Structure 1
């Protein structure tokens, strides 16, 4: 059985994070209050930014929970490795770094 993990990140700029996900071809749903992530497993987790599982051919959504000015990645690693984006975390890190560099000039 899988479960959601919450991973601390250095993603502290919402606009850059959203642009990075968009550059990866993903659509993000934003919420003022954390919402429940969808999964076929009996796991529970919440997030402010949600990438629906259908976009990555996974059993679980990917989320980002805003805590103290930084976004924590909320995902099911098992499902993520089996999705069509097994290198999601690395790809996002690269996109975030590039987007940050472009913003800074």
Structure 2
């Protein structure tokens, strides 16, 4: 490797910069990550609809904003993990519990 790629942080696009720095290139844009988020939203909507499209839970779900992205540039860990799958990589989600 002749150089280390580093994408400077802009706004709140942490997921984009994290992925591109990890992969060492400009591989993901906000538009591409938003597409992944919308796909996840649609999959979640279809799963919720399995309980009945007239159910109170389904109607409440439709009223909620996406948990996969927002207008600030936030993308969920699910979006990041799905983006990594394009490269045959897998993200590991963990939490550190305090005392």
**TM-score past 0.5 threshold:** no
Query: Higher strand proportion, which one?
Result: 1
Greater Rg, structure 1 or structure 2?
A: 2
TM-score by length of 2: 0.28
Greater relative contact order (CA < 8 Å, ≥ 6 in sequence): 1
